[in-house]
Structure 1
Amino acid sequence: MTWAKELEELRHREALAEQMGGEAKVARQHGRGKMDARARLAALVDEGSFREIGKIAGTASYDSNGNLTGVLPAPFLFGKALIEGRPVVATADDFTIRGGAADAGIKRKMVQAERMAHELKLPMIRMIDGTGGGGSVKTLEQIGATYIPAVPGWGDVVTNLDTVPVVALALGPTAGLGAARIVASHYSIMVRGLSQIFAAGPAVVDGLGENYKGSDDHQQAKEELGGSDIHTRNGVVDDEVASEAEAFARARHFLSFMPEHVGQLARRSHCTDPAGRREEALLSLVPREDKAVYSMRRCMNMVFDQGTVFEIGKNWGRTAITALARLDGWPVCVVASDPSYLGGSWDAKTSEKVERFVKLADQFRLPIVHLVDNPGFMIGREAEMAGTIRYGVQAMNAIYRATVPLASIVMRRAYGIAGSAMSNAERFQYRYCWPSGDWGSLPIAGGLEVAYKSELEAADDPAAELEAIKARLDKVTSPFRSAERFNVEDIIDPRDTRPLLCEFAQLAWRKLASER
């Protein structure tokens, strides 16, 4: 006597699950330019590594004799997989089954997936395509009552944010709980033209008087309400990509910098880029004209290991560049001023972005490198209306609270409170300054005519007197005067930046290893 009959039934049920929402609905999914959930899982993880959990769960139908006649699978798939040989929890919504709505699902599957991640200390990847919430209004009639909203297992979502790296990929229109699951992550991606995010979709918003429901082009309505042009520029989502394949590649790349969980150290990669490489172009990178701009991204590509700079949040908070990178194979988090946008002045969104990124670095124990050219917080009425100083101080507080090693390279300006947020001045200052350094409580040009008002009014030739004052102050503001008083630790040849930062990375990771 064997259990062959039962195994035959198991294989039959598995085959029904693999049909997802049925041939027609799967074809419709592909016709929209979208991969189906199973294809996404196969494309994201190492080949053949996905082991599904709860595959045959769903809503079954039986005939009068109790024989199985069909199964509607749950619209949520999850399991254990490998990415670059490292274990992860991989999940995917199945839009072919009631648009991924929870009224067709089994809540415990999603709860178990989230719980698996933090209890086994595995990175969590969510591929989200649908609402994932309470279903349609019509569902209420079927239930026979309404209910006070609650999200089963949300406590596990919160725990994961404190425990393991969480990556979320928006791969279709996502609303309600689906949108919340995207935002509750450490790194999030949208596919341009394919994914949209809303608290509620166009038809619901139309009830508030905004004309989306009546749009001739439903896709355009979704884009106008919650497309990537909106959410990758307001900071809801980190990055946009052109295709699902690119989204999978970026998710894998992000995880390559991360440890598998809080308490584990990230891994050093093999590096063939010499730590002692000195780039001649760095010597002339910063212009002598104080208002002239230059490319900070070009600097980063010269300083960090070649080909390792992985920028995050490029389209929002644009006066600061945030990126993951490597120095002699060691992973680091990079915060860098961008003088080509708003002169590098931190506005409210930039401050919010820096705060979030510094917290990520501290949580996952990645050293921070800060490339500084900061003329201060953005000023003016719009900046005041946006609450810039509050967000700026929160960014500064994050830097002061961070306990991972931090190195600053002051390339040019460091003014005011924003300039002082380059590092925690009450700790050892691992800091180098370029000869182009220019710093102070406020820019000289902004206060010179006010400070010397009486002298200028008394002068026979105010213009000549102003030039004479500027010439005197040019000598006083020399970075070498600051170095004389040890207000800056070292002024370096810009070409030595990479070797010195590689040395920092080695010492930083030595310290982090001692914490274990």
Structure 2
Amino acid sequence: MSEYDEPLTELQKRRKFALAMGKPEALERMKNEGLLNARERLDYMLDKGTFVEVGQLALGAREEHRHRTPADGKVAGFGKVDGRMVGIVSNDFATMGASSALNNLKKMKYVKDQGTKRGFPLMFVGSSSGSRMPDRMGAPGRLIIAQDPAEYRRLRKSPWGVAQLGSCYGSSTWYACMADYVVMRKGATMAVASSRVTSLAINQPVTDEDLGGWRMHTRISGLVDQAFNTDEECLDALKRYLSYMPSNCAEAPPVVGVPKGSDDPIESIMEIVPGDRKKVYNMRHVIDVLADKGSVFEMKPAWGKSVITALGRLNGQTVGFLGNNPMHKGGAADPDGCAKATGFLVHCDSFNIPIVMLVDVPGFLIGVEGERKAAPGKIINWMNALSLTTVPKLTVVLRKSYGQAYINMGGNKNSDVFAMWPTADVGFMDPETGVNVVFGITRQDDPEEFERCVAKLSEDAAPWEVAAMFEAQDVIDPRETRKFLINMLEVQQLRMTNGVGEHLMATWPTSIV
């Protein structure tokens, strides 16, 4: 008998215990509901055979918990997605609700620290019931937390992605709010505390869905980018998000092949965008036509809908499309739209993604509701972020661009490249409104004089006037927009730094909405 036999047998016993995960009945229930367990989620997410686990033998810190806390409820380690290294933590809800406790928080910290130091993305997957009780009760419980002052410091050294796939409270929610991209399974919940705890605290009933369901977070709070029906769809979205991103802030995003048909003539673009500035259209269709085929990946489509934010590719290169949405409130940017634009600028600049702004904006949505939602502060936050952006900024004005919104959408010197379609109209406000304000004339008062004044203001706001002063680099045929953007992206490459920006907003808060 070898002197290694007994310790190796013990090792295999402990590994088997960890791999079995939590309560069998809880695992069976997840299976019956069509959900993946913690290890199945890892298998689905990562390239086959690449997962390297750390902390597999970790157990709960309390003696009475050790027999029922395999891996202490959080499966952690490293693996590859499409051949690139990532760090990942997958919560095992079958083990004490994947509650956060002393030892599993050490595992999370280790994975997070390695990703930050070694330059690879971090993924947090699953659900958590929040803090483990009674570990966190009383003064001794307080000593478990707040041991790492940098735990909630986000420097955007590498991309973070989160999939909320069940009941998500406490740390699951905190990490989602620090992440760059968050997906949620429909039926999951994300909140500070559970509906039961919340109901007791506020002395009124509240449901999981009302408290933090997918509709609330994708449409109202804006904390979740997208929601899907299944675990698999959520994990697919996480993987697709990673495909656009560099592994860390010191790299340029990956360049991929250009799909066949991407450079076909785009005659349809003038059918998509009516020349009449009062007619609405879907800016998403414009982005689809301009981007490489099938490459558009929209972020937060159901929130802040006056603005469209999407990752995509031009000639194989990752870019961020920021466009106005005439289909919603006429494209006038409301407070949520402003916050959405700001967050997207910060995200793109932090990870060296050039920005393409497609402009058709009548201004900001003004009124009592906007003021109550801090519209002025959100407008200037957007402007501040734009001024701190160091990646290439390319702006094309399709139709109207008025007032302060003209500046926020990259007008003139606020972009590295500024171009206009022949249908562009720039000024302080719509010419018809301007005639009323400047001359005090309405169409009803004097139709002929009103039209004469409108024509005069329209002439002054025409793209030819802007181009004549060289405040625009060019006026372009709409059908040449894709080619123009590709050419200018090449001109604007950050050659001196290998495609890496200055990251002046690396510490910008991740969840200011």
C-alpha deviations, 1:337-367, integer Å up to 9, x for none? 1111011111111111111110111111111
1:181 alignment partner AA: Y
Q: Which residue of 2 aligns with 1:383?
A: 370
Q: CA deviation at 1:157?
A: 4.7
Q: CA deviation at 1:74?
A: 0.7
Q: Which residue of 2 aligns with 1:422?
A: 409
Cα distance in 2 between the residues matched to 1:397 and 1:144: 42
Cα distance in 1 between the residues matched to 2:46 and 2:159: 16
Match of 1:511 among 495, 508, 512: 495
Q: Which residue of 2 aligns with 1:478?
A: 462
Distance 1:501 1:25, change over 3 A: same
* TM-score normalised by structure 1 residue count: 0.89
Distance 1:173 1:428, change over 3 A: closer
Cα distance in 2 between the residues matched to 1:173 and 1:433: 48
| 2:474 alignment partner, SS class | coil
Tell me if the contact between 1:202 and 1:222 (Cα under 8 Å) persists in the aligned partners: yes
Cα distance in 2 between the residues matched to 1:71 and 1:202: 25
How do 1:120-139 residues align onto structure 2 when only pairs under 5 Å count?
Answer: 120-133=118-131, 135-136=132-133, 138-139=134-135
| 1:391 alignment partner, SS class | helix
How do 1:195-210 residues align onto structure 2 when only pairs under 5 Å count?
Answer: 195-210=188-203
Match of 2:308 among 301, 321, 328: 321
Distance 1:151 1:170, change over 3 A: farther
How do 1:333-352 residues align onto structure 2 when only pairs under 5 Å count?
Answer: 333-352=320-339
Identify which range, 408-417 or 501-510, moves more after superposition: 501-510
Cα distance in 2 between the residues matched to 1:436 and 1:414: 11
Tell me if the contact between 1:409 and 1:431 (Cα under 8 Å) persists in the aligned partners: yes
1:11 alignment partner AA: Q
Identify which range, 366-375 or 497-506, moves more after superposition: 497-506
1:205 alignment partner AA: T
Point out the structure with max Rg over C-alpha.
1
Tell me if the contact between 1:74 and 1:104 (Cα under 8 Å) persists in the aligned partners: no
Identify which range, 476-485 or 434-443, moves more after superposition: 476-485
Q: CA deviation at 1:58?
A: 1.3
Q: Which residue of 2 aligns with 1:216?
A: none
- Paired residues, number: 497
Cα distance in 2 between the residues matched to 1:324 and 1:146: 43
Q: CA deviation at 1:140?
A: 5.9
2:80 alignment partner AA: L
Q: CA deviation at 1:71?
A: 6.5
Q: CA deviation at 1:437?
A: 0.3
Tell me if the contact between 1:57 and 1:73 (Cα under 8 Å) persists in the aligned partners: yes
C-alpha deviations, 1:403-449, integer Å up to 9, x for none? 11111011011111111112274466412211110110122222312
Match of 1:222 among 205, 208, 215: 208
Tell me if the contact between 2:100 and 2:171 (Cα under 8 Å) persists in the aligned partners: no
Identify which range, 27-36 or 378-387, moves more after superposition: 27-36
Cα distance in 1 between the residues matched to 2:144 and 2:22: 27
Instruction: List alignment gaps of at least 5 residues for structure 2.
Output: 501-513
Tell me if the contact between 2:61 and 2:103 (Cα under 8 Å) persists in the aligned partners: no
Q: CA deviation at 1:232?
A: 1.1
Match of 1:372 among 359, 363, 379: 359
Cα distance in 2 between the residues matched to 1:482 and 1:207: 62
Cα distance in 2 between the residues matched to 1:287 and 1:424: 22
Cα distance in 2 between the residues matched to 1:140 and 1:456: 68
Q: Which residue of 1 aligns with 2:42?
A: 41
| 1:207 alignment partner, SS class | helix
Distance 1:43 1:515, change over 3 A: closer
C-alpha deviations, 1:154-208, integer Å up to 9, x for none? 614525x421111011111111222111111111111111x11111211122124
Task: Give the number of the structure with larger relative contact order, counting CA–CA contacts within 8 Å between residues 6 or more apart.
Answer: 2
C-alpha deviations, 1:24-60, integer Å up to 9, x for none? 2211333444311011111111112111112122149
How do 1:456-475 residues align onto structure 2 when only pairs under 5 Å count?
Answer: 462-475=446-459
Q: Which residue of 2 aligns with 1:106?
A: 104
1:98 alignment partner AA: M
1:158 alignment partner AA: R
Match of 1:399 among 380, 386, 410: 386
Match of 2:264 among 273, 277, 283: 277
Match of 1:260 among 221, 237, 247: 247
Cα distance in 2 between the residues matched to 1:382 and 1:244: 37
Instruction: List alignment gaps of at least 5 residues for structure 1.
Output: 214-220
2:39 alignment partner AA: R
Q: Which residue of 1 aligns with 2:51?
A: 50
Q: CA deviation at 1:149?
A: 7.8
| 1:339 alignment partner, SS class | coil
Q: CA deviation at 1:283?
A: 2.5
| 1:265 alignment partner, SS class | coil
1:225 alignment partner AA: L
| 1:17 alignment partner, SS class | helix
Distance 1:9 1:387, change over 3 A: same
Distance 1:210 1:414, change over 3 A: farther
2:209 matched to 1:231? no
Cα distance in 2 between the residues matched to 1:449 and 1:60: 73
| 1:155 alignment partner, SS class | coil
Cα distance in 1 between the residues matched to 2:250 and 2:495: 14
Identity %: 27
| 1:447 alignment partner, SS class | helix
